[in-house]
Structure 1
């Protein structure tokens, strides 16, 4: 059987572990089956295995094949829409419930790294960079909001201070979150997968699920999933494929949309040049609606990403797409060689908030982190485990968020969303 390779990314080239897991070729029975071996699936699997459950994970391609193994590698706290938006739209009780969890995902990641000795280049500190006074004032409000929910590791940077952190004159200020940071995401999910397997968990790769029997009207309500060569019957099923679920579950794909983002990694820079770009080694994301994000890797490359392609997929030339952004930020790197360029899809929701819930009493789903998934997926894995153990209160707080369809339905959601993004991009440029 021909195996599915990872995309040709810097992460895949520097992965600590490149061995394949076998495809599913038999009929198995387990307590919990999880579809998707990305951060959501593996985080959930590891929490459940630690609690003593028998868990099997099915992956259509490779562990970390999707967004979990392709993203910018930044640990950004809270959600794609911040706590104040949740408070305003859903009320103070739900806002407080989600706000009290907004900084938990990053702590879970750090706990995993330490407990299982995962080598994934973790480095603390992340900067939000403001282009104009409007964005800087919003960062001041964000600092006050996050401090209200217990994050006391925030440092406001004026124009002089941010230039000490980033060798560019593009920004007028920023916010440094010392509880943020960055990692090699593929090595993190591979390390967590190995930890899960060390506790008796099983992962099958190249095992695309082609059918789900929900069995909600049968005794026990035990779901059954089918691949081309095997099947799994389980007590509980978790759907965690995100942007790579395809049309397997129409009611989930109807209220979400895959979106692409692109990343390049430069040639290895000499150490003095690499250190000069971001002297203290933090990661950076700007405050634009369609933001850029970047950091220096352990081997002194600049990893730089940004942009969005609505509907998923990549532009004709990723290198050309990203180069203009990179060289505008760091003109001192004009003409630098790119050794890697890749794209990947994340799953966008209309509200920009995660979608968690149940299809039946025994089938759960978690998806739609809207470009903000590294920390939130790790929180969600803990919530899934809590729920299956009988403590669903925190999971149900997320499940209370309404799932809205995109304007124009499946046919017109891409152009309508692109028009909206153009509007917000224009506001960013004008500073209004």
Structure 2
């Protein structure tokens, strides 16, 4: 059987060695079967294994094959729609519950790195960068909002301050979050997988799930004849789930995003761009994000392709953005260019829930998944252990289909993105 390889990304090229894990061939019985070897699945499996559950994790390709091993590597707090939006839509009580968890995902990641000695290049500090006065006002309000929920590691940056943090003329200010930061995401995923196996969890790769038979015991079947009988199932396929669980596909849409990594710049040149090596994301609706890697490359990503997939030339698409931000890098060699899909919801808030009483799911982080996936895994483990209050707070969020159904959701959403992109350009 031919094994599915990682996409040809900088992360795959610089990943730590990991074992070739077997394909599931026969029947297995377990307490919990986790479908998906990204951050949601790994976090769920690891929290459950720590609580004493027997866990089997099935991955269709490689650990971290999807968004978890391809993303920008930034630890960004809160959710894709912030706590004030939740409060306006769902009321102060639910916003308070979700707000109390908005900064927990990053703490879980830092705890995992320390507890399991995961070498993933963690660096502290993340910056939200504003292009105009409207965005700067929003950052000022964001700081007040996050401080209301006990988050104090924030500093507003004026025009002079932001230039000291990132050497470009395109921003008018920003917000520094010292509890943000960045990582090598694939190495984090591989480290979490190794930790799971140390605790007795079983991981099978090249084990694509083709059927989930519901009942008091759930039967999960794979493409090559594998079978898992389990008390609980955790569905964590996200943008790569396909139509395995039809009711989960109806209210989400895969979206593509693209990333490049330059040649090695060297520490001096890299620090001339971002002196403290913070990660940066701008405040546009279709935002760009970038950071310096452990070996002093500039890793730069941005843009969205609705419905998933990549533009004809990722390098050409991203280079224009990169060189607008850093004209001093005009003509720099780009050594890696790759894309991948994340899962968008109409509300931009994640979908948590149950199917029956023993199939759990978490998905749809809408581009804000590195930290929220780790929170999701903790909440799912709590719920399976019988402490479901925090999980149920997320599960109570209402989700609706995209206008136009599955056929027209991408063009309709793209039309909306054009409107917001125009607002970004006009600064309104």
Q: Which TM-score applies when normalising by structure 2?
A: 0.99
Find the aligned partners of 1:236 and 1:212 in 2 and give their Cα distance. 11
Partner-residue secondary structure (3-state), 1:268: coil
Cα deviation, residue 355, structure 1: 0.1
- The equivalent of 2:49 in structure 1 is 49
Gaps of 5+ in 2: none
- The equivalent of 2:180 in structure 1 is 180
Q: 1:225-283: CA deviations, max 9, x gaps? A: 10122100100001000000001111100100000000000000132111110000100
Q: Following superposition of structure 1 onto structure 2, how do residues 29-178 of structure 1 map, counting pairs within 5 Å? A: 29-178=29-178
Q: 1:31-51: CA deviations, max 9, x gaps? A: 000000000000000000001
Q: Following superposition of structure 1 onto structure 2, how do residues 172-251 of structure 1 map, counting pairs within 5 Å? A: 172-215=172-215, 221-227=216-222, 228-251=224-247
Residue 347 of structure 2 is aligned to residue 342 of structure 1: no
Find the aligned partners of 2:86 and 2:7 in 1 and give their Cα distance. 35
- The equivalent of 2:385 in structure 1 is 389
Cα deviation, residue 104, structure 1: 0.2
Q: Following superposition of structure 1 onto structure 2, how do residues 234-313 of structure 1 map, counting pairs within 5 Å? A: 234-313=230-309
Gaps of 5+ in 1: 216-220
Partner-residue secondary structure (3-state), 2:296: coil
Kindly report structure 1 stretches of 4+ aligned residues shifted beyond 4 Å.
none
| Aligned 8 A contact 2:266 2:295 in 1 | no
Cα deviation, residue 19, structure 1: 2.7
- The equivalent of 2:21 in structure 1 is 21
Q: Which TM-score applies when normalising by structure 1?
A: 0.98
Find the aligned partners of 1:209 and 1:270 in 2 and give their Cα distance. 44
Count of residues paired in the alignment: 427
Cα deviation, residue 17, structure 1: 2.0
Residue 420 of structure 2 is aligned to residue 424 of structure 1: yes
Find the aligned partners of 1:265 and 1:372 in 2 and give their Cα distance. 21
Find the aligned partners of 1:61 and 1:131 in 2 and give their Cα distance. 40
Partner-residue secondary structure (3-state), 1:298: coil
Partner-residue secondary structure (3-state), 1:288: coil
| Aligned 8 A contact 2:307 2:410 in 1 | yes
Find the aligned partners of 2:295 and 2:209 in 1 and give their Cα distance. 38
Find the aligned partners of 1:337 and 1:19 in 2 and give their Cα distance. 32
Find the aligned partners of 2:402 and 2:11 in 1 and give their Cα distance. 33
Find the aligned partners of 1:165 and 1:367 in 2 and give their Cα distance. 34
